[in-house]
Structure 1
């Protein structure tokens, strides 16, 4: 049986196999065919990666459970116990409870994707180590990259939001102080 040079084989050196994206499709960018990876994983590196896979899956599962418990707990608080709502005295308890619940579900949805990607990283990393599969390893690191990129962007957004809150709070205090003179 003849081997096709363009056929993907994870055991081939990097310069002979087509570049794959995280989705298993060939990348559209041009690569340097003379590039040769000199990176080798030692047995200790593999054991560290095996432990990282376990901990990332554990943290992701705890994250999924935490999201579920938060949504259920807040759902109970806002929807099933409206008299306990801080808005009960104003008569806005049902609307405010529902709006608060939807807002909180949105925030939990923001946390779902990075936790999912962390779980997929751990799962693919374990498969890559167990099967000695470079394609699974690439996929695992692709999910880890997505996880860190998303969390980084989310942190930047929150920092900007906190900065705006601080600036507007200071401006509000300044205007309030000027109004009392």
Structure 2
């Protein structure tokens, strides 16, 4: 008799090889999240000093708005956007390590839930960027044909 697929999944066990792969994945996720947080810190520092940096550029004075303030906003926006996937990656790493150490199914499920959130964020962000590229191409073609 074939059981319910959900019941079959509840019987899933993680063998030694899979546990080893998950442990290594958690280590790499931790490393990448630390590098991501360092990158976010650099973006914030750059945002803080962008006013000074752009005021030192003579061509920046020809722009009709405060370029330093605009770049501060842009860098802070990038830092905020970059924070979420990096934070999700850090959470995945910590929860996966804890789940493997304690053999707790609930923590393991939470780890995968956070990993799903990480990839969902990256996926939605990718769709948005590709849509902006498509709009830019359409606007460029239309503008080019009008000239």
Q: Does 1:126 align with 2:80?
A: no
Greater per-residue helix proportion:
2
Which residue among 101, 105, 111 is the counterpart of 2:76?
105
* CA-to-aligned-CA distance 1:16-72 (integer Å, 9 cap, x gap): xxxxxxxxxxxxxxxx7x824231111011011000010001101100101111221
Q: Tell me how far apart the structure 1 counterparts of residues 39 and 58 of structure 2 sit (CA, whole Å).
A: 22
* CA-to-aligned-CA distance 1:88-126 (integer Å, 9 cap, x gap): 23464xx22102211221122111111100100000000
Q: Tell me how far apart the structure 2 counterparts of residues 73 and 111 of structure 1 sit (CA, whole Å).
A: 15
Q: Tell me how far apart the structure 1 counterparts of residues 131 and 69 of structure 2 sit (CA, whole Å).
A: 27
Report the Cα offset of residue 86 of structure 1.
4.4
Secondary structure, counterpart of 2:56 in structure 1: helix
Secondary structure, counterpart of 2:77 in structure 1: helix
TM-score, normalised with respect to structure 1: 0.72
Bigger-Rg structure (1/2) = 1
Call closer, same or farther: CA 1:90–1:161 in 2, change over 3 Å. Answer: closer
Q: Which residue number corresponds to residue 142 of structure 2?
A: 171
The runs of 5 or more residues in structure 2 that have no matched partner are none
Call closer, same or farther: CA 1:85–1:156 in 2, change over 3 Å. Answer: farther
Higher relative contact order (CA 8 A, sep 6+): 2
The runs of 5 or more residues in structure 1 that have no matched partner are 1-31, 177-181
More deviation, 100-109/165-174: 100-109
